[in-house]
Amino acid sequence: MAIRAQTAAAGAGVEAATAAILADSKVIKTLEDIKADDDRALVEQKRITEIPAPAIQGAGQGHVLPEAVPRTRLQGPPRSTPRAM
């Protein structure tokens, strides 16, 4: 019984946190922006996935990704940071 009570309390806490996050004006705006950009993003994803892969998988997409990353303002780790294996 104690586990069920803890689970119910945790569930209520998660629901309250979710409601608070979804009520935040920045979250609402961001979700609206994502929905508005959905068609363009889908077209771009289709274009990237339709590029034929050469014998070494993925090398064919190499010329497309540098174009896409700056448009989305995504940045990778600094060049001096070693990558985790």
Q: Where are the domains of the chain?
A: 24-48
Token pair for 25: 């004006």
> What is the value of pTM for the model shown?
0.44
Q: Which residue has the higher pLDDT, 20 or 67?
A: 20
- What per-residue confidence (pLDDT) applies to 17? 92
Q: Dump pLDDT digits (tens) for 49-81.
A: 888 766 665 555 566 666 665 555 555 555 555
- What per-residue confidence (pLDDT) applies to 32? 94
What integer best gives the mean pLDDT of the chain?
75
> How many angstroms separate the Cα of 42 from the Cα of each of 15, 27, 46, 47, 49?
30, 21, 6, 9, 11
